[in-house]
Amino acid sequence: MQPGGSEAPHAAAGQPDWERWIEERAAASSLDIDRSRVVALAEHARRVLRAGAELHLTTIVDPREFLERHLGESFEGAALLDAAVEGAALDLGSGNGYPGIPIAAARPGLRLRLSEASVKKATFLRQVVADGGWSIEVIERQVQRAADLDGHGGPFRLITCRAVGGWAKILPRLVPALAPTGEILLWAGDEVPAIATRVVWRRLSVADRHALPGREQSWIWRIRAA
């Protein structure tokens, strides 16, 4: 059932069957997502594709590639978290809502915040959140240090960072916003170990990394306070 009670629509002839695709891709990451959340994720995907060019949300137009790069890689991050994980979560520089929204669908114990400085993108995210029945806050501001998150429900059990410019400088500044058992999931390449040797990274420790399926030198890095 969709949020609000209506049945999920069947895919029109020739159109991607997003609900089925999402369920299958989630299962490939050993995730079991509530059907209502699958329907909401499917509508989110459709809306990102429709508004992608206008709002600069994505350059990917092929549905299967979109599924893997945006939803699949988000599910890979969710699978690194305990199924019973709870607490506040922040998707830094969320943009199109990935990876934060799929992670929230897979790990419903997380209370998600999406931070986005662009007014147009933040407005888009608010519409997606409202129409999908998500309990998610959109923070319309640039987050570059822990103080920028005052009043938004920290400390954070999880911070996600994907396709965010300047992350190497920003992430060390967010350490005070992390809960004692908190961690950062960073989607990045093989530059991370060298960056982690910088003086400003003394407050962080790279725990491990998870390879992204089908991609060379691309990982999800698990990072914790040192």
Mind listing the pLDDT tens digit for each residue in 92-106? 999 999 999 999 999
Question: What is the share, in percent, of the chain residues with pLDDT greater than 90?
Answer: 92
**Both structure tokens of 46:** 């459709």
121: pLDDT strictly greater than 80: yes
pLDDT at 50: 95
pLDDT at 2: 35
Evaluate whether the domain defined by 18-225 bears CATH number 3.40.50.150.
yes
pLDDT at 15: 83
**Over the stretch 1-54, which tens digit does the pLDDT of each residue have?**
333 343 444 555 568 999 999 999 999 999 999 999 999 999 999 999 999 999
Question: Quick one: which H or E segment has residue 225?
Answer: strand 219-225
Instruction: Please give the model's pTM, rounded to 2 decimal places.
Output: 0.93
Q: Are strands 219-225 and 204-211 parallel, antiparallel or unpaired?
A: antiparallel
Q: CA–CA separation, 77 vs 73, rounded Å? A: 7
Mean pLDDT of the chain: 94
Residue 22, helix vs strand vs coil? helix
SS (H, E, C) 41-89: HHHHHHHHHHHHHHHCCCCCCCHHHHHHHHHHHHHHHHCCCCCCCCEEE
**Over the stretch 56-111, which tens digit does the pLDDT of each residue have?**
999 999 999 999 999 999 999 999 999 999 999 999 999 999 999 999 999 999 99
CA distances to 66, 120, 132, 179 from 47, rounded to whole Å, are 12, 14, 11, 33
Domain boundaries, the chain: 18-225
184: pLDDT strictly greater than 70: yes
